[in-house]
């Protein structure tokens, strides 16, 4: 079992930055791919970024096109935490952000993730 808790959301002006954290329980966290998804009001939940499990200390990161160059996902397995650094935020980034953990290579597909956090609200004022 893996339990996930997101934090770091808040209200920020357009152009600003936030860092989200996804803290996990469980000894095998490093063997999971962790994804960030977001859901804006009235819209479906969508993939944002993912970072694969670590092999020899190396993880691969993936991003949706809308956030490439602005968001960076990273993980600290010693702290059982995955981060999403969000820079140059836009109003369109406003959403509830969720982290999820799974062991599938289909990192952008929600149904392949087994564990989900409760979400953290990010609001970007224009």
How high is the pLDDT of residue 49? 98
The pLDDT value given to residue 26: 78
Residues whose CB falls within 8 Å of the CB of residue 41, separated by 6 or more in sequence, listed in order: none
Beta carbons of 54 and 64 less than 8 angstroms apart: no
30 confidence band (pLDDT: 50, 70, 90) = confident
Q: How far apart are CA 74 and CA 91, in angstroms?
A: 23
- Bridge-based pairing state of the strands 10-13 and 120-125: parallel
Tokens of 94: 């406003």
Looking from the CA of 103 toward its CB, the CA atoms found within 13 Å total 6
Residues 94 and 109 sit within 8 Å (Cβ to Cβ): no
Give the model confidence (pLDDT) of 48-107 as tens digits. 999 998 888 889 999 999 999 999 999 999 999 999 999 999 999 999 999 999 998 899
Using an 8 Å Cβ cutoff, are 61 and 51 in contact? yes
């Amino acid at each position: 079992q893996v339990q996930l808790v997101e934090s770091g959301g808040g209200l920020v002006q357009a152009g600003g930055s936030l860092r989200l954290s996804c803290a996990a329980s469980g000894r095998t966290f490093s063997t999971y791919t962790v994804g960030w998804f977001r859901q804006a009001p009235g819209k479906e939940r969508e993939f944002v970024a993912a970072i694969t499990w670590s092999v020899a200390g190396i993880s691969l990161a993936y991003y949706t096109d809308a956030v490439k160059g602005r968001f960076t996902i990273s993980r600290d397995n010693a702290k059982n935490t995955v981060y999403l650094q969000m820079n140059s935020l836009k109003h369109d980034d406003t959403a509830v952000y969720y982290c999820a953990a799974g062991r599938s290579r289909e990192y952008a597909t929600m149904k392949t993730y087994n564990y989900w956090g409760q979400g953290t609200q990010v609001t970007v004022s224009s």
